[in-house]
């Protein structure tokens, strides 16, 4: 039986086996393993961003050149991306983003709630499909489904990694 708790490493392997080569991110604890694995991977581009909407445009450019990108961000960063999601919707670019949640299950910092609670409706308002994982065993099947939806069907898909899964930060 596979141990579901090592989902971050298996997630990196899944993305690489799906030929994702551009890993763009604003750092977040929930994405630590993916970020570190991409930095250690000579066959991938590890791309730290100054703000999350850079990653939306980067994913469009990767697609123009025939590569696959993933955008790793915290739910706060979704708000920074809104207008550039019109580039994705209008041009029908594929977009895969993994969003670690704040302002969610067990959040102890009230500053996180407005954007955390708005994350899903904002993404949907801009035409993205939203999937969600709250249990370790959900991650690999959910991201596998998202990969198919994004790169075979040219959809924009956000996979939300809930605080029930990644843990609420202690204050």
Partner 1 sequence: MAALQKLPTSNLPDAVLDRRQAVPALIDRPQDFLIVTGLAGAAQELSAMTGNTPNLFAMGGAMGAALMTALGLALAQPKKKVLCVTGDGDLLMSVGGLATIALQNPSNLTVICVDNGHYGETGNQESHTGLGVRLDTIAAGSGFPAVHTINTDTDLEEGRRLLQQDGLRFMLLRVKEGPPLKEKRNLVPHMERENFRKALLG
Q: With respect to partner 1, which residue has the nearer C-beta, 64 or 145?
A: 64
- What is the spatial distance between Cα 151 and Cα 146, in angstroms, rounded to a whole number? 8
- Say whether residue 50 binds partner 1 (CB under 8 A): yes
How many angstroms separate the Cα of 43 from the Cα of each of 21, 23, 37, 53?
Answer: 7, 11, 11, 24
CB of 8 to partner 1, least distance (A): 24
- Say whether residue 86 binds partner 1 (CB under 8 A): yes
- Say whether residue 48 binds partner 1 (CB under 8 A): yes
Spatial strand order in the sheet of 45-48: 45-48, 20-25, 68-74, 95-100, 156-161, 129-133
- Say whether residue 135 binds partner 1 (CB under 8 A): no
Binding-site member from 33, 58, 118, 149 for partner 1 (CB under 8 A):
58
Here's the x/- map for partner 1, 63-82, by CB under 8 A: it reads as xxxxx-x-------------
- What is the spatial distance between Cα 58 and Cα 71, in angstroms, rounded to a whole number? 9
């Amino acid at each position: 039986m596979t141990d579901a708790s090592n989902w971050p490493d298996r997630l990196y392997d899944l993305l690489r086996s799906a030929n994702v080569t551009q890993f763009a991110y604003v750092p977040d604890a929930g994405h630590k393993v993916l970020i570190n694995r991409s930095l250690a991977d000579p066959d991938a581009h590890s791309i730290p961003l100054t703000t999350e909407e850079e990653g939306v445009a980067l994913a469009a450019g990767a697609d123009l050149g025939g590569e696959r990108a993933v955008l790793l961000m915290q739910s706060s960063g979704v708000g920074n991306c809104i207008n550039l999601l019109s580039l994705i919707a209008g041009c029908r670019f594929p977009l895969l983003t993994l969003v670690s949640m704040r302002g969610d299950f067990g959040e102890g910092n009230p500053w996180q709630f407005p954007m955390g609670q708005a994350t899903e409706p904002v993404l949907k308002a801009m035409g993205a499909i939203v999937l969600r994982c709250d249990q370790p065993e959900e991650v690999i099947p959910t991201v596998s489904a998202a990969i198919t939806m994004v790169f075979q069907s040219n959809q924009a898909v956000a996979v939300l990694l809930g605080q029930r899964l990644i843990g609420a930060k202690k204050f």
